[in-house]
Amino acid sequence: MSGNRFNTIEAAQKGYAFAWKERGYLARAALLPMGASIIFGMFLGRYVPDPKTVPEWMTGNLFFLPTDALMGWYIFLLARLALLGEKLEAVPRDPRAMAGWKNLRNGCVLSYMLIKVALIGLQAVMIYTATVRPPTAGMAVLAMFSIGAFFWGVRFIAAPLLLAVGYPVRAYIFRVNGIGISLRVVGLVFLGILPVMLAAMIIGGLFLPDHLQGMNTQIKIMMALGPVADYVFYTLFMGALCFGLKDMLSPPRRRRSS
C-alpha cells in the first residue's frame, strides 16, 4: 500500500516479527542506554521532588531529558536496521560517509528530544485543565485545543525515523492528510504497549501474593521496570511504524504487462 495510509495490523505484525528476529542485536544496542537510564533514575531521580503542582511535574519530566537522548540514539539504530538493513558494525568508516551518518544521527536524536518536550508540554496543559477548580469555559476550550493539537501533531512522531535515513520530513508532512495517519499511529502505540501491559499482568500474577495483585500493582511494576518497559515498547512501536512508513512512502509497484 502506498499513498497517505498504511495497514496498522500488518505494520504491527511486521514490527513484532522484526523485533523477534533482531532481538539479539537490538538487546545489545539497548544494553548501554537502558543501563544508563536505570542508573540515572536510581541515583539521580531521588533528587527530583514529588510533583505537587504542574510546574513541578514538568520539571521532573524535563530532568530526565538526558535519558531521552539515549533513547533517541537507540531509535536511530533501530530505524537504520528496519529501513536500510544497516547494523552498527557495517557503518562505513570513510570520514565523509561517517560525517553524513553522524548528521543523520544528530537529527534523529534532536527531533526525538523536541517531540518529548512538546509531549510534556501538552500533557501539562491537559493535567492543568483537568485539575483546575472551579472549571471554566476557558479551561474547556484550552483542553479541547490541547487534545486537537495532540491528534494533529502525533504524526510528527515519525520524524526521528525519517531523519535517521535522510528522508525529508517536509515531503512526509505534505504526503499525509487528515486525521487518518494520526489514528493509525495511535493504533500502533496501543499495539506496542499491549504486550508490556500483558507482561506486567503475568509478572504480577506469578510473583505477587493475591492481596497485592490488581491494576495499581501492575502499574507499579511497570514503573519499577520503567526503562526496560520503555525500550520494549519503543522497539515494538517504532519498529511497526518503520514498516508502516516503508509501506506508505514506497513508490507503488508497477504491474508487469503480459
Please list the pLDDT of the chain residue by residue as tens digits (258 residues).
455 678 899 999 999 999 999 999 999 999 988 888 888 777 765 555 555 666 666 776 777 788 889 999 999 999 999 999 999 888 878 888 899 999 999 999 999 999 999 988 888 888 778 777 777 787 788 888 888 888 888 989 999 999 999 999 988 888 887 778 888 999 999 999 988 888 877 766 665 555 555 555 555 555 556 788 889 999 999 999 999 999 888 765 554 443
Q: Does a structural domain hold residue 257?
A: no
Q: Does a structural domain hold residue 180?
A: yes
Q: Does a structural domain hold residue 46?
A: yes
Q: Does a structural domain hold residue 134?
A: yes
**Amino acid letter, 17:** A
Domain with 22 in it: 8-248
What does the radius of gyration of the chain's CA atoms come to, in whole angstroms? 20
For 64, the grid coordinates are: 530526565
Q: Grid coordinates 500502533 are at which residue?
A: 188
- State the alpha helices, DSSP H only, in the chain: 8-21, 23-43, 54-62, 65-84, 95-131, 137-153, 159-164, 169-175, 180-207, 215-224, 226-249
Q: Does a structural domain hold residue 254?
A: no
Q: Does a structural domain hold residue 43?
A: yes
Q: Does a structural domain hold residue 1?
A: no
Q: Does a structural domain hold residue 82?
A: yes
Residue 60 dihedral angles phi and psi, to the nearest 5°: -60, -40
Domain count, the chain: 1
